[in-house]
Amino acid sequence: MKTMKRGSGVLLGLLWVLIADVATAGNYTLVVGKGIEVCQAYLRNLHSFPMHPPVVCERPLNPKLSAFSRPKWKPLEFWPNRHLLRQALRQRPSNLQYSDEEYEKLEPYDKWESNIRERMKERNMTLATAELDVDQDGKKDIVLRFDTGWPCDPMDEGNFAIPGGIELYVLTPDGRGIDGKSTYATLPVRAGRPDVVGYKGKWYVTTWAGDMNFTEAQLDIITVESVPRQRCQFKYTGQAQRRHP
């Protein structure tokens, strides 16, 4: 019986090592923003989750660090508000070179709408809004959060090399359209699964960038204001013996 117990203990220990090897987050080093309060505070937050996978997908906040907060996102019905996605696509810099007539030929509305319907069958796309002062002018802006529904697996390194899934846009004051100028001046629209986090009354956006095997992997934080931008950058180093899924 003792031999069996000893063998079981060794097996459980080996299993724990394998699990830890996959799950451990690795190390974060602050390389830009040393001495800036929010950067140092976010580094403490990262270090408080030593067993969390790389924060390319979800970026948890330690409740003990009460200076951090989340926006209060209010869900929007997706289909009745699909026009916001259409306008967002139209406002992308690469499409502004076209007149409305030219753009309609490139992306006919009926075809686009049909594609959206098919995507809805494949995955759960969602819309939500929150009132945030993104340009720090003392007035709240309506920010739209579009989740494309693409699943994000922190153990799949493809998510590190080609992040995506979340898009952020500033809406017009009446909430009925996309304010393209404000959006592209203040928000990283389609970069690194952007996430909004608050720190002592100011709003920041976090983004992830990197290649396969964590080459040049980094987590950035920027203030969502036009000028000046306050920036933190954290270098991520994965476990040396990390196992690929």
Count of C-beta atoms within a 10 Å radius of residue 233: 16
The rounded mean pLDDT for the chain is 82
Strand ordering across the sheet containing 166-170 = 74-76, 126-132, 141-147, 166-170
1 vs 66, residue with greater confidence = 66
Rounded-to-integer distance, Cα 64 and Cα 13, Å: 31
> According to the model, what pLDDT value does residue 243 have?
41
> According to the model, what pLDDT value does residue 234 have?
94
Cα first-last separation, the chain: 36
Q: What is the mean pLDDT of residues 204-212?
A: 83
* 14: enclosing H helix or E strand: helix 2-23
Asked if pLDDT for residue 79 goes beyond 80, the answer is yes
68-78 confidence digits (pLDDT tens)? 999 999 999 99
27-60 confidence digits (pLDDT tens)? 899 999 999 999 999 999 999 998 888 888 889 9
Report pTM: 0.81
Rounded-to-integer distance, Cα 149 and Cα 120, Å: 9
Domain spans in the chain, listed from the N-terminal domain onward = 24-237
Asked if pLDDT for residue 143 goes beyond 80, the answer is yes
Rounded-to-integer distance, Cα 152 and Cα 173, Å: 32
> According to the model, what pLDDT value does residue 238 have?
77
Asked if pLDDT for residue 213 goes beyond 80, the answer is no
Q: What is the mean pLDDT of residues 123-135?
A: 91
> According to the model, what pLDDT value does residue 10 have?
44
